[in-house]
């Protein structure tokens, strides 16, 4: 639990994790499967990769995650390494 007790879409859980891992939010990728989580991670200043490979995925899930702010969406964990490598080469800055 975070010190504030706030849940997603508040950015608190993401900022708390970054602090514990001594990571800069702007240099952090978050893997998220929920719209609230995408909003929270983006509010924390983090980059987001959507994930639709879980059992609770639904038609239009990838679009919802992208519309919420995910830079891209993966369906399989095997895609993660190459997606992070590609996104690391590209940034908004």
Q: Encode pLDDT of 57-93 as tens digits.
A: 999 999 999 999 999 999 999 999 999 999 998 775 4
* Alpha carbon distances (Å) from 72 to 4, 6, 15, 50, 86: 30, 26, 21, 6, 11
Q: How far apart are CA 88 and CA 93, in angstroms?
A: 12
Predicted local distance difference test score (pLDDT) of residue 1: 66
Q: Are strands 29-32 and 72-74 parallel, antiparallel or unpaired?
A: unpaired
CATH code at 12-88: 3.40.50.1000
**Predicted TM-score of the model (pTM):** 0.90
| 24 pLDDT above the threshold of 80 | yes
Domain limits of the chain? Answer: 12-88
In sequence order, what are the residues at sequence separation of 6 or more whose Cβ sits closer than 8 angstroms to the Cβ of residue 8? 34, 36, 37, 39, 40
Q: What is the H or E stretch that residue 59 is in?
A: none
- Residue 72 DSSP symbol: E
């Amino acid at each position: 639990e975070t010190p504030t007790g706030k849940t997603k879409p508040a950015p608190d859980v993401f900022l708390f994790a970054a602090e514990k891992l001594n990571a800069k939010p702007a240099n952090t990728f978050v893997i998220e499967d929920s719209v609230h989580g995408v909003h929270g991670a983006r509010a924390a200043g983090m980059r987001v990769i959507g994930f639709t490979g879980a059992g609770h995925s639904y038609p239009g899930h990838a679009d919802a995650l992208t519309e919420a702010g995910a830079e891209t969406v993966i369906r399989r964990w095997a895609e993660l390494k190459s997606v992070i490598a590609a996104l690391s080469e590209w940034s908004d800055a």
